[in-house]
């Protein structure tokens, strides 16, 4: 039984972290092995707060050891990581990726480098951003940063399309083989923009920007999972990028139609497999 090891946060109510990533991958036909870095009652942007805790890094290490003991890491096709609850968990991620690749050299590592962004209400523990930039992201085959996270990784300010291309190209010299920027907020106010960069070129995807009273949380986790699924299906990076872009829009559109804050992933599940609205990507020359 081949699977995807998804090491992310988990919310009991709603869709963020593994609660956003696991079902789309299952709907695309994959076995998913979710490992939670934290378990919260709900995502952290509720004004009422949240309850729950981060798990010790030793818990992650013990669980990976248990999977290895039953000789299943050789069947891990990909490691997908998102929100980390402590700096020590970053070290556990590094060990996990190395262990998985020892057991299965063909496994790929996809890193969604969630960093603190107080303006968005996203808070991470001390030391996490530094570990992500210096140790975790260079280890990844694929990184899925937003504009802020990409700028932190490459040490560049991003204000224009040309800036974004240069930043992605620089990121490709630091270890990753693919860069998917899950949101480039500087490019357009009325369109949602994403970028893919590989050794073959850079590609831009744009779709209508949906206005929400409260911006849904977990969109980046959804994009990372959709892109991972596409790559593991054997699609080209460009095909996986376009599918992730279109399927994510379909989930957001259903969320907007229902006037909800939490992503309506279940209601839009058929669109995860076959999006009905297609926004072709364009190569940036």
Tell me the C-alpha distance between 21 and 24, whole Å: 6
Flag whether 113 is marked binding.
no
> N- to C-terminal Cα distance for the chain?
42
Tell me the C-alpha distance between 224 and 221, whole Å: 5
Flag whether 45 is marked binding.
yes
Flag whether 221 is marked binding.
yes
Flag whether 275 is marked binding.
no
Strand-by-strand arrangement of the 191-198 sheet: 52-54, 31-40, 3-11, 76-81, 108-111, 142-143, 178-181, 191-198, 201-208, 282-283
Flag whether 31 is marked binding.
no
Flag whether 101 is marked binding.
no
Tell me the C-alpha distance between 241 and 19, whole Å: 21
Helical pair 219-232 and 237-257, crossing angle rounded to 10 deg: 140
Flag whether 254 is marked binding.
no
Flag whether 129 is marked binding.
no
Flag whether 182 is marked binding.
yes
Flag whether 144 is marked binding.
yes
Flag whether 44 is marked binding.
yes
Flag whether 36 is marked binding.
no
b or e along 91-105 (b: 16 or more beta carbons within 10 Å of the residue's beta carbon)?
bbbeebbebbbeebe
Q: Tokens 């399927």 belong to which residue? A: 247
Annotated binding residues for substrate, written as ranges, equal 9, 44-45, 221
Indicate the annotated binding residues. 9, 44-45, 112, 144, 149, 182, 207-210, 221
Specify binding-site residues for ATP. 112, 144, 149, 182, 207-210
């Amino acid at each position: 039984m081949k699977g995807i090891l998804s090491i992310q946060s988990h919310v009991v109510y709603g869709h963020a972290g593994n609660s956003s990533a696991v079902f789309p991958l299952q709907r695309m036909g994959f076995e998913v092995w979710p490992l939670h870095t934290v378990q919260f009652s709900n995502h952290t942007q509720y004004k009422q707060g949240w309850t729950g805790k981060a798990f010790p890094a030793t818990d992650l290490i013990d669980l990976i050891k248990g999977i290895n003991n039953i000789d299943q890491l050789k069947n891990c096709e990909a490691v997908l990581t998102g929100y980390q609850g402590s700096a020590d968990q970053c070290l556990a991620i590094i060990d996990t990726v190395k262990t998985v690749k020892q057991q299965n050299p063909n496994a790929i590592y996809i890193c969604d480098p969630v960093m603190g962004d107080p303006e968005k209400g996203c808070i991470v523990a001390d030391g996490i951003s530094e570990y992500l930039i210096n140790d975790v992201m260079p280890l990844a085959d694929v990184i899925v940063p937003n504009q802020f996270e990409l700028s932190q990784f490459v040490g560049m300010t991003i204000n224009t399309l040309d800036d974004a291309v240069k930043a992605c190209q620089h990121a490709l010299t630091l270890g990753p083989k693919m860069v998917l920027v899950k949101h480039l907020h500087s490019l357009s106010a009325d369109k949602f923009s994403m970028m893919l960069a590989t050794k073959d070129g850079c590609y831009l995807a744009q779709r209508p920007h949906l206005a929400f009273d409260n911006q849904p949380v977990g969109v980046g986790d959804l994009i990372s999972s959709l892109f991972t699924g596409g790559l593991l299906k054997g699609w080209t990076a460009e095909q996986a990028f376009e599918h992730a872009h279109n399927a994510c829009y379909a989930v957001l559109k259903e969320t907007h139609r229902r006037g909800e804050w939490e992503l309506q992933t279940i209601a839009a599940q058929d669109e995860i497999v076959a999006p009905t609205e297609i926004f072709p990507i364009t190569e940036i020359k």
